[in-house]
A and B are shown apart, each in its own frame.
Chain A
Amino acid sequence: MTSFILRAATGYLMPLLLLLSVFMLLRGHNEPGGGFIGGLLAAAAFAFHALAWGPRATLELLRADPRTIIAAGLAAALLAGVVAAAAGEPFLTAHWLPIALPGVGKVGTPLLFDVGVYLVVVGTTTLILLTLGED
């Protein structure tokens, strides 16, 4: 089943949704948002794409296997926790860079942790979605 309307809409919606998801991720620390919501948004974008073009095309678009994305997310979250060990502090103690990046704000291990959450959510949802979508 091919829906041209959906395919055309995806072309506009996907970039917007993905951009919004990153925006949500970055602003999460101060405004409503965060890795979880951002990840779900991105997953929704990929779901759109899969509905319009089929899961195989989405997998090609993703380039990485969703399982690799999950692993990367867990690794990022873990890394965010381990940083503190270098300073001899308890696991997951937050560390911040002294200067704020323009547009992003303060950068530190909680942001890295949130990126990990984001990746795990994206990876898991697309993994289930694409596996279900296979025929």
Chain B
Amino acid sequence: MLSAMIAGLLVAAVLAPLAERRLGLWAAPVLAALPAAFAAVVLLNFPRGGGVALTEVRPWVTDLGAELAFALDGLAAVLALLVAGIGALILIYAGGYMAGKATRGRLLAYLLAFLAAMLGLVLADNVVTLFVFWEATSVVSFLLIGFDHHKGESRAAAVQALLVTGAGGLAMLAGLILAGQAASDLGLAGTEAWRISAWATVDLRQHPHYFPTLLLILAGAATKSAQWPFHFWLPGAMAAPTPVSALLHSATMVKAGVFLLARLSPHLGGTPEWGWLVTSAGVVTMLVGAGMALGQRDLKRILAYTTVSVLGTLTMLLGVGTELAVKSAVVLLVAHALYKAALFLVAGNVDHGTGTRDITALGGLARHLPWTFTAAVLAALSMAGAPPMFGFVGKELLYTSKLDLEALGAKLVIAAVIANIALVAAAGMVAVKPFLFRRREPPHPPHEAPASMLLGPLLLGLAGLFVGLVPATFDRTLGPAMAAAILGREVEMKLKLWHGLSVEALTVLVLSTVTVAGGVGLFLVLRRRMATARRLLEHASRVGPTRAFNASLAALPKAADRLSRLVQTPSLGRSLSVIIAATLSVAAPSLILLGRPSLPAGLTEVQLHEVALAVLILAGAAMAVVFPKRLAAVVALGLSGIGIALLFALFSAPDLAMTQIMVESLTVILLALLFAHLPPSPERSSRAERLGHALLAGAAGVVMALFVLVVVPGSFPPSTSEYFLAESFSAAHGRNVVNVILVDFRALDTLGEITVVALAGLGVWALLRLKLGNDRGGEP
């Protein structure tokens, strides 16, 4: 059921461009029916309490513990509802946003593919399933950030996001594997050890690998959810089209890291290590994001940094991990998804209606974009945490959960109040500044967005108001189910707008009032002092992780270049010397370890013709060294080669002999042709150089000979050749064992070899073409 629905989304993604061509404007609403249906199915099967409503397991590579396993518990269900619900609205929005653009079909396709990946991720119950969908979201995010791939800025942002989240994803994979092995050590058998829900029966925290596991998994969560110092990719991701930012980079994908923490907190959480690491990462991110948000002019970048801040808050809450903190995280996560997606869509409407997102160029738009303004106010009130919005409930709970803590409580509350004051001010910058105050002259005369682009922001804004007014719709259904899944036990939830007159309730109310008042004040100051804030921020970001990332990214090719120059010089002779010297430095020490060389038995009777062949081979080699002309040297080498081929033939290896003869002849022809392209007379190398070459060549010959003498006598298990001789005809219908090995027993090796041969041929061809083209004056 679940996997079929995910597959359905993928099929829809493939068909989306076709549908767009056929249905035009109606393609987006039609396609949006799919995620909407997904949301409906989740709602109908909503898990009760801490239970699991739907499970599905399909075998995949069961030996490696990989299955396609899905489970719909409270956490998965709430996130799936958010992803599918917001996804449906944003598909409709994207249809309007991209109206008249040739790339609309592609955008719809990517968005659907993203929905499939994200839903797979939140529903996953097997670590491999989780990882595959996790990486899929990174890849689709890469495609979407680089959607306008003709812009260098978009491509750079896409690569940056992929590198950061991809590296984190690999760390997470290592962590998940460690966790799975730990589960297996602790007694879970077979695929059970790789099923996340099954980890509840063992205590992974007891395992000696707990700490590295935790660190690796946190690295994955921190990169994906843009935690400091990995936060910098998220503002860059704003290069994506606005519907994408609303869906991936605010409401859903960036929550994946938080989701991972939530998913694993029953199994890995609750330890001091978890508490310190997760909480501190969250607090720092919360403050950094909130501060950075205030110095931005681009609507989307303001929103991006506030998203970073909220992600930090969520991480902090999961780090604290008390029942109240988890409930608070649940409320904040859902409230944020609703208002932030709405605000991004508002930013898209402003951009669409005026041609700019620069807040210094925007003002007095309320008259021209009344519906967008309404949505903006609804969402911004929720973001600012003003009553009676959902965001207000969330913030009250946030402060309560902090006051609840004994040791850290006061400090965390202060940090949260500071961050929230900044968020209130940012909400003003996004939702008030462009719409009220003095009219400015944007690039083109402002106009309201079409209905398809108003539906999303208005519905999302109203949802925030509705849940705030009737909290029972959340605290009886979604909220407790999700909190129960995170805590691993049943919980009750009671949200209210008015908490009565107890000391605690009043403290929280005072804090809330301080936050809103402080935020409004900050906004009013900031509105006039934008330039100052920006300058301060520029100074601060001189030493940020962005700089470190860019510097290391630039240093990597430089270091590679320097290494290549060292190893692969333009001179073939020097390159060969490097290769031979490197081989020797590995081979010579192992020669000592392998034992003494000894002459194989039965070498006493040397026949006359064998001596003759040896003389032929040696003479060829000697002549190759002495002859001054290239062609003569090559022919002399060929002589050596023929001698070796005859040796093969003599010692009953006809296949080798034939191959050797063919290779020798063709080599001579190829080299002869090659010389036509080279300058006529080669420069003689200096005496010292020749001496060096002779020493190196001599050492290589001696080491190789000793190697053969060490390895050959009796070190091959006789069973190998016996096996091949016996099986060759009966199992593989062939009497030529060499060939049967090549095309049947070890065919995979051969497949690899012919691939290498093909690639080498193409490489030679490309290089020669380049060279010949240059000779002809640059023609390719």
The chain A residues found within 8 Å of chain B, CB to CB, are 24, 28-37, 40-41, 43-44, 47, 51, 66-67, 70-71, 73-74, 77-78, 80-81, 91-92, 94, 96, 106, 108, 110-111, 113-114, 116-117, 120-121, 123-125, 127-129, 131-135
Contact = CB atoms under 8 A, between A and B. Distances in A.
Q: Which of B659, B735, B758 has the most CB of A within 10 A?
A: B758
A30 B734 contact: yes
B740 A29 contact: yes
B754 interface: yes
A91 B748 CA distance: 9
B655 A77 contact: no
A32 B658 contact: yes
Chain A interface SS verdict (over half): helix
B55 interface: no
Given A31-B735, A44-B662, A106-B733, A81 B751 contact: yes
B757 A121 contact: yes
Interface in B642-665: 654-655, 658-659, 662-663, 665
Contact of B736 (A31, A96, A134): A31
Contacts of A47: 666, 669
30 contacts: A32-B658, A33-B658, A33-B739, A34-B655, A35-B742, A36-B659, A40-B659, A40-B662, A40-B663, A43-B666, A44-B662, A44-B666, A66-B761, A67-B765, A78-B751, A81-B751, A91-B748, A92-B751, A113-B750, A114-B743, A117-B743, A117-B754, A120-B758, A123-B761, A124-B757, A128-B761, A128-B764, A129-B666, A132-B677, A134-B772
Interface of B: 654-655, 658-659, 662-663, 665-666, 669-670, 673-674, 676-677, 732-736, 738-740, 742-744, 747-748, 750-751, 754-755, 757-758, 760-762, 764-765, 768-769, 772
B760 A124 contact: yes
Nearest to A129: B670
Contacts of B744: 94, 110, 113
Contact of A34 (B736, B755, B758, B761): B736
Q: Which of B670, B738, B740, B751 has the most CB of A within 10 A?
A: B751
Contacts of B761: 66, 70, 123-125, 127-128
B466 to A, nearest CB: 53
A134 B768 CA distance: 10
Contacts of B754: 73-74, 77, 116-117, 120-121
A128 B739 contact: no
B614 to A, nearest CB: 24
Contacts of A114: 739, 742-743
Nearest to B673: A132
10 closest Cβ contacts across the A-B interface?
A: A124-B761, A40-B662, A32-B654, A29-B734, A132-B673, A34-B739, A30-B735, A110-B743, A120-B754, A28-B739
Contact of A110 (B669, B734, B758, B772): B734
A34 B662 contact: no
A28 B736 contact: yes
A38 B577 CA distance: 34
Contacts of A128: 670, 761, 764-765, 768
Given A30-B734, A34-B655, A37-B658, A131 B666 contact: no
Nearest to B675: A132
Contacts of A124: 757-758, 760-761
Contacts of B750: 77, 113, 117
Given A70-B761, A120-B754, A124-B757, A131 B738 contact: no
Chain B interface SS verdict (over half): helix
Given A40-B659, A43-B662, 18 more contacts: A24-B658, A32-B738, A33-B655, A34-B736, A36-B742, A37-B655, A37-B658, A44-B662, A67-B762, A70-B758, A70-B762, A110-B734, A113-B744, A113-B747, A123-B758, A127-B764, A129-B669, A134-B772
Contacts of A34: 655, 736, 738-739, 742-743
Contacts of B676: 132, 135
Nearest to B729: A30
A110 B758 CA distance: 19
Nearest to B665: A44
Contacts of A131: 764-765, 768-769, 772
Contacts of B673: 129, 132-133
Contacts, number: 142
A71 B654 CA distance: 29
B666 to A, nearest CB: 6
A70 to B, nearest CB: 5
B747 A81 contact: yes
Contacts of A113: 743-744, 747, 750-751
Given A92-B751, A133-B673, A125 B736 contact: no
A96 B733 contact: yes
B739 A40 contact: no
Contacts of B736: 28-34
Contacts of A133: 673
Contacts of B760: 124
Contacts of B747: 80-81, 92, 110, 113
Contacts of B751: 77-78, 81, 92, 113
A70 B503 CA distance: 81
A20 to B, nearest CB: 11
A68 to B, nearest CB: 12
A79 B38 CA distance: 39
B430 to A, nearest CB: 54
A96 to B, nearest CB: 6
Nearest to B663: A40
Contact of B733 (A29, A77, A91, A116): A29
A123 B751 CA distance: 15
Contacts of B757: 120-121, 124
Q: Which of B669, B744, B754, B765 has the most CB of A within 10 A?
A: B754
A114 B739 CA distance: 9
A94 B758 CA distance: 23
B735 A74 contact: no
A41 to B, nearest CB: 6
Contacts of B768: 128, 131-132
